[in-house]
Chains A and B, each alone.
Chain A
Amino acid sequence: MIEYFVTSASSFSGDIDDLFNLITVIIGVAFFLTLGTFIYFMFRFRRKKGVKAEYITGEKHKEKKWTHYPHYTVIALDVVIIAFNIIVWVHIKQTLPPKDNLIRVIGQQWSWAFIDAGPDGILDTEDDIATVNDLHVKVNETYHFELQARDVIHNFSVPVFRLRQDGMPGRTIKGWFKPTKTGTYDIQCAEMCGYGHGIMGAAITVHTKDSYKETIAQINNGTYESHYQKRKGSKTPLPSDTAQTDKESSFARLLARVF
């Protein structure tokens, strides 16, 4: 269901979508059964003239079973959910698959800095590639990231990868992802970080091998144009951005669509 709203672009995003669907099915059945019973009771036992309510204490074993059976079902469903959840969680957060590349992600008020370890795979050497608000990665290669926060807590969030991780001041938090689909996507800060929290966006571009080389060459010879800036400019502006000149508000647009 999530992939209907957001592209799935990393090796584990499918697992999270599957877990979401699994829980939706399990919970959905339980939810609609409960809701159905609830609505049926409301309708069936509405007040009628001359009909007195029954006296049921719910303390006898014979009566209690009606809440106990659903209750055991909930336990069984919980066990299934816990089991699948732990499988997915261990895969995403508890294990680090062998890396092809290493990057450092630094959050600070209110921008993102990315340092790619470059060909030698070691950070803080001369071949590092540093970019601001623009992350360039190669498709189908495993990336390890070291997440740091300079000032306050930030959250490195890439919705298309189904990845969110807090960066804690004073710590370096390790994680990984493996992009599987080329394109340019949003990076968000998903933890309140102050006045400019709303503008702390960045762009991640998943490249093929060739386009990656090209971009790195551009960065080195100074002809590089920020994908983040380009992307913000190229999108259709929100109605609000033009609201001062354009009299038709988005509310009016919504009404026009409905009627």
Chain B
Amino acid sequence: MSQSATAIQTDTHAEHHEELSFLYKYILPVDHKMIAMQYMFTGLIMAVIGGFFSYVFRMQLAFPGESVPLYGIVGPGEYNMMVTNHGTIMIFWVAMPVLIAAFGNYLIPLMCGCDDMVFPRLNRLSYQIFLVSALVLIFSFFVKGGGFGGAWTAYPPLSTVPEYNLTDWGASLWILAVALEFVSFLLGGINFVTTAMNARAPGMKMMDIPIVVWFLVIAVILFMASVGPLIAGAVMLFMDQRIGTTFFLPSGGGDPLLWEHLFWFFGHPEVYVVLLPTMGIVAEIITVFSRKKLFGYRTILYTAFATGGLSFVVWAHHQFVAGIDPRMANVFVVTTLLISIPIAEMLFSYIATLYGGSIEFKTPMLWALSFLFAFLIGGVTGIYLGASALDVYFHDSYFVLAHFHYTFFPITIIGMFAAITYWFPKMFGRMMNETLSKIHFWGTFIPFNCIFLPLFFLGLAGQHRRIYNFSHYPDLATENLQDVRVFATTSLVIMLLFQGIFLYNFFYSMFKGEKAPDNPWKANTLEWTVPSPPQHGNFKKLPTVYRGAYEYSVPGRESDYWPQNMPPDKN
């Protein structure tokens, strides 16, 4: 095992690298760290767009028909377009680039102890395609008819026939953007797996790899294995739209249900594709800030494999009432509830890691712990929806919406902030302001719960999704329910305002913050052994690894951490 795990690029020491011109350093870089920055900033810009959409449609729900400040009157078509693209952006253009591409690119070479990705130019190409996909999506909002408004699941025939969706080019550009984004992540994924498997520092055995690298690798494998059918589906959908084929149209012998299968065969593993990187980030943070070895490294790793495997056989729980054979639903109920078992085991192991620790509540730790709390709620409410009989009532209701926001918000937003606050010193060589970070944390976490907890109750009351004005449904147009909507919207606005503090802190600290030492958190993994920020080529001398990543508070040692590359005879 250790033989195959040696770095394959040996002659690339830092001193061989020349100063690069601005163009090649910032615009067309092959350095994995700069590509990671490109992904991260593109993702953050997209997050602002997605967040703005959520502000506009939540305002419309709370004060229907009134002019929304900074936007104006929201029509039904615009409402649909924003709901659709909020979902698409947050998953494909925020969660994927920030969690997987940005932190994957940044961390995998640094944590594995090599100088760059194995295929640096492929890496650059993957970002360029990603950028094009983002531009295509943004462009689609401005074509005639407006952006696509048929929900992020894009069920045909609504998504294929212009007379039905009224957004002829919006729909086509939307599917084109999604397909391009998939291509970009396929290229990136190949790079991740190859780098983590072939270019590790000498001595880094499989079981010494930091959990976050493992989880990123499993995530991209899941992605690459599940996305094939959807890319095929996307091409078929595009052909239905543009050249008149009828893969999904009953009028020509096609079947809309086929798309649902192709979409959810990808769509469910996708949940775990974005979940696993955040789980890994959280594992790094809770071990460092509780000075504890990860509880059951192997158990956690195997539960991730089990989750990944199971995630391929649960997709039809999105379609319990979609007209599939009702007998088939029983099979998918069993597999869906089975997946709660490895996930629960993983969460239990994380909580057990806290036992006997010395927990310091720095901002990254607050984010990591709040992730566990929020994801626990998201997980248990998933049990309700995994039960097919309850889906008869909850299908497409706000209960579903609240449930998946309790999984996706912790994964995407909380995971992103956890990672940024934790690795910021390494990325930019400066510390973030701790007080401002803590204010931002509470100003995000409390309003987040105030937005989505009430939505569970709206779901119980029978409120269904993607409705721009509930006055057409007398049972839902009551004052009590309207007050709940206003409360959720108010919380959202408060939460969005608090993001200003983050942006200020982020950019101020980047240039004016306190200088960061190499290893501010006293962590073990290899990225903390290089200067902050690391130079091009990462390591002056490629490191050798002697132990696993989580040797904290080892008995008999004076210091409570033991970097992976510290030779065993030194203390």
Do A and B come from the same complex? yes
Contacts of A6 in B (CB 8 A): 460-462, 475
Assembly CA distance A91 to B323 (angstroms): 16
A183-203: which have CB < 8 Å to B?
A: 185-186, 188-201
Complex Cα gap A194–B486 (Å): 25
Q: Are B66 and A240 in contact (CB under 8 A)?
A: yes
- Write the nearest CB–CB distance from A5 to chain B, whole angstroms: 4
Report yes or no: A198 in contact with B149, Cβ–Cβ below 8 A.
Answer: no
A89 to chain B, nearest CB (A): 4
User: Does the CB pair A58–B293 fall under 8 Å?
Assistant: yes
Q: How far is the CB of B561 from chain A (nearest CB, A)?
A: 10
Interface contact B256-A59, CB-CB below 8 Å: no
Residues of B within 8 A of A67 (CB): 295-296, 299, 345, 348-349, 352
For A19, A75, A82, the residue with the greatest tally of chain B CB atoms inside 10 Å of its CB is: A82
Known A-B contacts A34-B347, A82-B337, A153-B256; the reply to A47 vs B358 at CB < 8 A is yes
- How distant is the Cα of A47 from the Cα of B356 in the complex, in angstroms? 10
Binds B, one of A49-57, A122-130, A213-221: A49-57
Interface mask (A1-28 → B, CB under 8 Å = 1, otherwise 0): 1101110000000011001100100010
- Whether, in the assembled complex, B294 has its beta carbon less than 8 Å from a beta carbon of chain A, the answer is yes
B476 within 8 A of A: yes
Q: Which of B389, B461, B487 contacts A5 (CB 8 A)?
A: B461
Contacts of B69 in A (CB 8 A): none
Residues of A within 8 A of B554 (CB): 55
**Does A135 sit at the interface, judged by CB under 8 A?**
no
For B462, list chain A residues within 8 Å (CB): 5-6, 159-160, 186, 188
Q: Are A70 and B380 in contact (CB under 8 A)?
A: no
Q: B337 touching A56 by the CB < 8 A rule?
A: no
Residue of A nearest to B485 (CB): A250
Do B354 and A45 touch across chains, with their CB atoms under 8 A apart?
A: yes
Taking CB atoms, residues of chain A closer than 8 Å to B79 are 198
Within 8 A of B (CB), among A220-258: 231-232, 235-241, 243-244, 249-251, 253-254, 257
Stretch at the interface among B110-118, B121-129, B157-165, B182-190: B157-165
Tell me whether A93 and B395 are in contact (CB under 8 A): no
Q: Can you name 10 extra interface pairs (CB under 8 A) apart from A31-B376, A159-B475, A243-B66?
A: A46-B360, A53-B358, A67-B345, A67-B348, A157-B395, A168-B257, A185-B475, A190-B464, A195-B76, A198-B468
Measured CB to CB, the residues of B under 8 A from A are 62-66, 76-77, 79-80, 149-151, 153, 155-158, 161, 164-166, 249-251, 255-257, 290-299, 321-323, 326-327, 329-330, 333-334, 337-338, 340-341, 344-345, 347-349, 351-361, 369, 372-373, 376-377, 380, 383-384, 387-393, 395-397, 457, 460-462, 464-477, 479, 482-483, 486-487, 490, 552-555, 560
Q: Which A residues are closer than 8 A to B by beta carbons?
A: 1-2, 4-6, 15-16, 19-20, 23, 27, 30-31, 34-35, 37-38, 41-42, 45-48, 51-59, 63-64, 66-67, 70-71, 74-75, 78, 81-82, 85-86, 88-90, 92-94, 109, 151-153, 155, 157, 159-160, 162-171, 173, 185-186, 188-201, 231-232, 235-241, 243-244, 249-251, 253-254, 257
